[in-house]
Structure 1
Amino acid sequence: MHICLLEPLGIDSTILHELSQPLIDAGHSFVAAHDKSSNPDELIRRAQGADVIMIANNPLPGEVIRALPQLKLIAVAFTGIDHVDVSACRERGIAVSNCAGYSDTAVAELSVGLAIDVFRLVAAGHAAVHTGGNSTGMVGREIAGKTVGIVGTGHIGTQTGKLFAAFGAHVLGYARHENPQATAFGIQHVNLETLLEQSDIVSLHLPLNETTRKSFGEEHFARMKESAIFINCARGAIVDNDALAVALNTEQIAGAGIDVFDMEPPIPADYPLLSAKNTIFTPHVAYLTQEAMIRRAHIEFENVAAWLAGTPQNLCEI
């Protein structure tokens, strides 16, 4: 089998060699790209003759998938697969695997970190020190004793709830199907309306699909407390971000910490959310830690090896 890694995985070349060598020793060929490309023609060139292609979060359009007649597996080093044209995969019977779980800790930690930043005015304090200011107007809030609402109690949502609970928060959860692990930990599942109305911090942890796209909007922000903040380290397209900007600028809610947008950064200067009040931004880095990059690379190569051995794992429903 010919295996092509179409983009870097953010790991040291020594680790990449260690992970790919068993495939080569088993008689498979392996090539790896050293940079990203969004050009379909270039991606097709790189993947010529591939039975298996490996990617991270670089978009993989249908025209690329349809141009690779030998392709049988797309191994994605990411949790979500919304950047892959799964309709083209269905047409061709191509399997898709993901690396669910690799970034649970990383995303959960940034979700809590953004909440702390908003509550304790960290960015504003940083700016004040650099501009000769002081603590005037810097009265923050504590997480301890607050109610945190986790929208989506999967692995990442549950891990986020655990971290908030460690700060002394009461944690509510909402999911279409309750996660027994979340319940066992002590996350109290309630309906979405109750969660929004009672929470001081609302943290979003849903996957992006056709059901969830733009599913969180004006009516949801209207139910939140005026003192509440909103955290999104999931997917930007789940949220009506124009409605979020309005809710922030009209002080319908008190603040937000946002890692994801309707597009990948860089974000256009006229994007309404960028000028919203009391909002902290990071450029889609929730998953991006040294530990998570190594973890996902191991999982992705394990997925490929398992598929080649006839015992596939982490296959996605498409």
Structure 2
Amino acid sequence: MLIKLLEPLRVPNELIEELAQPIKERGHEFVYYEEKTTDAKELAERSKDADVVMIANNPYPAEAIEQADQLKFINVAFTGVDHVDGEAAKEKGVKIANAAGYSDQSVAELVIGLTLDVYRSISQGNADIRKEDFPGMIQGREIKGKTVGIIGTGNIGMQTARLFKAFGANLIGYNNSEKEEAKELGLEYVSLDELLKTSDIVTVHLPLNEETEGFLSKEKLSLMKESAVLINCARGPIIDNDGLAELLNEGKIAGAGLDVFDMEPPIPSDYPILQAKNAVLTPHVAYLTDEAMVERAKIAFDNTLAFLEGNPQNIVQE
């Protein structure tokens, strides 16, 4: 079979070659593109004749899938797969796999980092101390003793819960199903409304799909305490971000830490959350650490090898 890695995985080429060696040893051909592209025609050209394509987090459109006549498997080196045209893949009978688990720790750590920044005004303090007219110190808050609401207790949500627990926080959670592991950690499952009403810190860990798009509407967010903060390192469209900006500016939510938005960076200058009060923003980098990039490359190549051997794993769409 012909396997094509369509974009870089942010790891050294030497590691790519090492991970590809078992594929080559089994008689398959491996092609690696060192420059990424988001051009649909170029992606279609790169995909031509491939049996397996490996991608990361750049969009993979219908045009590329439809023109790849031999395509059998889309191997996504990312947790979410909403950037792949799933309908086009389904029509061609192409399986889709992901690399779930590679960034559990990195995402959980950024959630903590954003919370600390909102609570302790780290970014603001860094800017203020450099001003000739120093505006003065900002009094912050501690995580210890606060109630943290985890929306979505999958792997990342659970790792985030563990880190908050280490800070001395109290844990409550909302999920479609209850996990014994979460309960053993001391997390109490409650309704979504109760979580929003009682949490000091709300952190979102849901996938983006038809059920979760717009899941936290302005009406839902309005249930939060005025002293509460919202952290989102999952997917931007899960939240009504314009509504969130309004609530922040009106002082009805104390702060927010966001790594994801309704679009990928660069963000338009008129996007309301950019001007919102007490919002700490990062450019979709929660997954992006040296360690996570190595782990996702390993998982992605394991997925390819498993598919080639007739035992596909981490399948998210048949």
TM-score by length of 1: 0.98
Alpha carbon RMSD of aligned pairs, Å?
A: 1.0
Counting only pairs closer than 5 Å after superposition, residues 117-156 of structure 1 correspond to structure 2 as 117-132=117-132, 134=134, 136-156=136-156
Cα distance in 1 for residues equivalent to 2:206 and 2:135? 37
2:37 is equivalent to residue 37 of structure 1: yes
Alpha-carbon offset, residue 184 of structure 1: 2.3
Q: What's the counterpart of residue 237 of structure 1? A: 237
Identical amino acids, percent of aligned pairs: 54
Cα contact 1:125–1:135 (8 A) shared by 2: no
Cα distance in 2 for residues equivalent to 1:125 and 1:134? 10
AA aligned opposite 1:170: N
Cα distance in 2 for residues equivalent to 1:205 and 1:179? 15
Cα contact 2:171–2:188 (8 A) shared by 1: yes
Cα distance in 2 for residues equivalent to 1:86 and 1:259? 24
2:70 is equivalent to residue 70 of structure 1: yes
Q: What's the counterpart of residue 296 of structure 1? A: 296
Report Cα offsets for 1:217-276 as digits up to 9, x if no partner.
211221100000000000001111100000100011000000001010010100001000
Alpha-carbon offset, residue 145 of structure 1: 0.7
Cα distance in 2 for residues equivalent to 1:51 and 1:317? 17
Q: What's the counterpart of residue 200 of structure 1? A: 200
Cα distance in 1 for residues equivalent to 2:106 and 2:279? 21
Alpha-carbon offset, residue 51 of structure 1: 0.2
AA aligned opposite 2:305: A
Counting only pairs closer than 5 Å after superposition, residues 267-282 of structure 1 correspond to structure 2 as 267-282=267-282
Alpha-carbon offset, residue 135 of structure 1: 7.2
AA aligned opposite 1:136: G
AA aligned opposite 2:236: G
Counting only pairs closer than 5 Å after superposition, residues 91-106 of structure 1 correspond to structure 2 as 91-106=91-106
AA aligned opposite 1:37: T
Q: What's the counterpart of residue 190 of structure 2? A: 190
TM-score by length of 2: 0.98
Cα distance in 2 for residues equivalent to 1:130 and 1:251? 27
Cα contact 2:125–2:137 (8 A) shared by 1: no
Cα distance in 2 for residues equivalent to 1:305 and 1:191? 42
Cα distance in 1 for residues equivalent to 2:71 and 2:235? 28
Report Cα offsets for 1:107-155 as digits up to 9, x if no partner.
0000011000000000110011111355735000000010000011111
Cα contact 2:50–2:70 (8 A) shared by 1: yes
AA aligned opposite 1:268: P
Report Cα offsets for 1:166-196 as digits up to 9, x if no partner.
0010011101112222222221111111111
Q: What's the counterpart of residue 88 of structure 2? A: 88
Counting only pairs closer than 5 Å after superposition, residues 37-56 of structure 1 correspond to structure 2 as 37-56=37-56
- In structure 1, stretches of 5+ residues that fail to align are none
Q: What's the counterpart of residue 28 of structure 1? A: 28
Cα contact 1:7–1:33 (8 A) shared by 2: yes
Cα distance in 2 for residues equivalent to 1:225 and 1:136? 27
Cα contact 2:97–2:317 (8 A) shared by 1: no
| Comparing 250-259 and 171-180, the one that deviates more | 171-180
Cα distance in 1 for residues equivalent to 2:4 and 2:28? 11
